[in-house]
Amino acid sequence: MTRDRLHKRLAILGAILAVAAFAAANVHLITVAYQSQPACVTPAAGHAPATPDC
């Protein structure tokens, strides 16, 4: 294998790893965002809920 071919394969491998790491980080952020949603609770008297979904 020539030196240029080795450099090209390493560059492609690096790019694939970078895209995979970026995708994994985004999946992690979305997962954490959905898991951190608080449950609906009854608001205290005189206080309106932040969102009317409950």
At 18-51, the pLDDT tens digits run: 999 999 999 999 999 888 876 777 777 777 777 6
Distance CA(18)–CA(16), nearest Å, equals: 5
Q: How many CB atoms within 10 Å of residue 15?
A: 10
Q: Residue 52's pLDDT is what?
A: 65
Distance CA(25)–CA(31), nearest Å, equals: 10
Domain locations in the chain as residue ranges: 1-36
**Rounded to two decimals, what is the model's pTM?**
0.62
Over residues 7-14, mean pLDDT: 97
Distance CA(16)–CA(20), nearest Å, equals: 6
Q: Residue 11's pLDDT is what?
A: 97
Q: Residue 1's pLDDT is what?
A: 65
Residue 19 or residue 52, greater confidence: 19
Q: Residue 37's pLDDT is what?
A: 72
DSSP annotation of 38 = P
